């Protein structure tokens, strides 16, 4: 048997032990994991220094070095995140439906853990602890396949978490760090349909496409966020401008940042020049259609590719549309199914916009930057799905469980 298969089988066997933990036991375990990480800080920092040195020798750039870096403040942040997960409500055992059938059987639907979750990610060692905490909180075992740049850090974090798990009688295999980091081993992990219930890739679009294209196990992922803001004729212009600036400028590298602005032609002459000035003041480059360029001197003309671009930087595509229907048609054509926003004081237009679009998150008069598990009240976020299956939009603990049926009777039979 290959290493990866035997590691995964051990993880699956350990899943029963995690699923059997009570809510109180899981909360205590996660708090103990947080304390243990702080207690093991010296060993974790030493392992991280080893990763950093190897990365520097390999000529890795400053952005990835920073993602890889741990220090006491970052370890404290990881421990805090574990304690926050510990304090969240336990989704396992939640009763979602209850029905008494005419024959008297009581049919309940109750959340159970998914089983074994494989996380595929890149160089951030904090994901190791975060993802483990969320999976365990939802009663799952987890297989973690991080980037090879972070392997010493990841193993040191896992060793620390294993210490806390052992004190709770949870086998170390319930939190498995993949030891074979060759690409062939990752491919094999993604074929283990009899073991892995769900794979979640986190990282750049290249990694996500690789996982989605090669996996036979179910994958939940999002490729990109081409988020739209439509400023309706009936918008409050001051609020629309706030939404625009927050959406584009507060964190342009986030997938919930705005990439395209659609403006109703009736409000465009009043709104767009002012909005363009405010954006330019903040360093935003604008690329518009002909009508937009006519209203804003010096705006660069947009090409067809701009309507599908996820810039992830201070660039914004701008288009004037004839009406609400034209805005909806544009979004339907170019949506990434992530997040769309309408700014309007017209309630009927707002509801038409919500009804016509099937993106994961649709907002009325609220910033696209709220499209985030924490902001939407999920408590934490394991990932985002733009696939309309199982989970759609930001995924919290509930997305790491599934509803099943529990039926109680008094000997009823069908025939």
Binding footprint of a second copy on the chain (CB under 8 A): 16, 19-20, 99, 101, 105, 107, 112-115, 193, 197-198, 212-213, 216, 218, 236, 238-239, 242-243, 245-246, 250, 332, 343, 350, 354-356, 358-367, 369-371, 375-377, 387-394, 402-415
Shortest CB 361 distance to a second copy, Å? 4
Instruction: CB nearer to a second copy: give 34 or 378.
Output: 378
Rounded to 5°, the CA angle 244-233-301 comes to 55
Shortest CB 287 distance to a second copy, Å? 23
Instruction: CB nearer to a second copy: give 72 or 104.
Output: 104
Shortest CB 356 distance to a second copy, Å? 7
Instruction: CB nearer to a second copy: give 182 or 404.
Output: 404
Q: In terms of C-beta density within 10 A (0-12 exposed, 13-18 middle, 19 or more buried), how is residue 298 classed?
A: exposed
Structure tokens that stand for 172 in this block: 């170390």
What is the Cα–Cα distance from 203 to 218, expressed in whole angstroms?
Answer: 17
Give the H/E segment covering residue 257. Answer: none
Instruction: CB nearer to a second copy: give 182 or 358.
Output: 358
Contact between residue 153 and residue 68 where contact means Cβ atoms under 8 Å apart:
yes
Shortest CB 387 distance to a second copy, Å? 7
Instruction: CB nearer to a second copy: give 15 or 79.
Output: 15
What is the Cα–Cα distance from 85 to 107, expressed in whole angstroms?
Answer: 31
What is the Cα–Cα distance from 167 to 65, expressed in whole angstroms?
Answer: 34
Cα 254 from chain centroid? 11
Q: Strands 175-177 and 141-145, how do they pair?
A: parallel
What is the Cα–Cα distance from 61 to 186, expressed in whole angstroms?
Answer: 24
Shortest CB 111 distance to a second copy, Å? 10
Instruction: CB nearer to a second copy: give 161 or 198.
Output: 198
Phi and psi, residue 113, nearest 5°: -65, 155
| N-terminal to C-terminal alpha carbon distance within the chain | 47
Structure tokens that stand for 183 in this block: 């690409």
Instruction: CB nearer to a second copy: give 182 or 216.
Output: 216
Shortest CB 247 distance to a second copy, Å? 8
What is the Cα–Cα distance from 123 to 126, expressed in whole angstroms?
Answer: 9
Instruction: CB nearer to a second copy: give 185 or 258.
Output: 258
What is the Cα–Cα distance from 344 to 263, expressed in whole angstroms?
Answer: 11
Neighbour-count burial for 305-321, b at 16+ CB within 10 Å, e otherwise: ebbebbbeebbbbbbbb
Shortest CB 58 distance to a second copy, Å? 34
Shortest CB 31 distance to a second copy, Å? 23
């Amino acid at each position: 048997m290959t290493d990866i298969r035997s590691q995964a089988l051990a993880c699956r066997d350990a899943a029963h032990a995690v699923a059997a933990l009570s809510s109180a036991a899981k909360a205590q375990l996660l708090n103990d994991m947080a304390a243990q990480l702080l207690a093991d800080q010296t060993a974790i920092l030493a392992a991280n220094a080893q990763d950093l040195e190897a990365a520097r020798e390999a000529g890795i750039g400053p952005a990835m070095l920073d993602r890889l870096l741990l220090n006491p403040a970052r370890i404290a942040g990881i421990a805090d995140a574990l304690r926050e997960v510990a304090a969240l409500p336990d989704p396992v055992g939640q009763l979602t439906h209850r029905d008494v059938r005419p024959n008297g059987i009581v049919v309940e639907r109750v959340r159970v853990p998914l089983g074994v979750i494989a996380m595929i990610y890149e160089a951030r060692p904090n994901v190791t602890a975060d993802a483990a905490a969320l999976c365990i909180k939802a009663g799952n075992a987890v297989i973690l396949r991080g980037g090879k740049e972070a392997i010493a850090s990841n193993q040191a974090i896992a060793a620390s978490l294993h210490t806390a798990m052992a004190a709770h009688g949870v086998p170390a295999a319930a939190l498995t760090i993949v030891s074979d980091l060759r690409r062939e081993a990752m491919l094999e992990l993604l074929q283990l349909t009899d073991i892995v219930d769900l794979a979640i890739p986190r990282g750049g679009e290249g990694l996500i496409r690789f996982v989605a294209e090669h996996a036979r196990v179910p994958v939940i992922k999002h490729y990109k966020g081409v988020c739209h803001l439509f400023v309706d004729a009936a918008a409050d212009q001051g609020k629309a401008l706030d939404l625009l600036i927050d959406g584009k400028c507060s964190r342009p590298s986030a997938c919930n940042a705005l990439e395209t602005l659609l403006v109703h032609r009736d409000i465009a002459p009043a709104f767009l020049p002012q909005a363009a000035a405010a954006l330019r003041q903040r360093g935003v480059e604008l690329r518009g259609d002909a009508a937009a360029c006519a209203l804003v001197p010096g705006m660069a003309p947009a090409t067809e590719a701009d309507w599908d671009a996820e810039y992830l930087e201070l660039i914004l595509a701008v288009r004037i549309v004839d009406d609400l229907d034209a805005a909806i048609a544009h979004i339907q054509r170019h949506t990434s199914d992530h997040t769309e926003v309408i700014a309007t004081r017209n309630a009927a237009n707002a509801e038409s916009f919500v009804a016509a679009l099937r993106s994961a998150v649709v907002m009325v008069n609220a910033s696209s930057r709220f499209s985030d598990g924490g902001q939407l009240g999920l408590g934490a976020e394991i990932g985002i799905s733009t696939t309309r299956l199982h989970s759609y939009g930001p995924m919290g603990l509930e997305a790491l469980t599934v509803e099943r049926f529990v039926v109680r009777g008094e000997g009823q039979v069908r025939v």
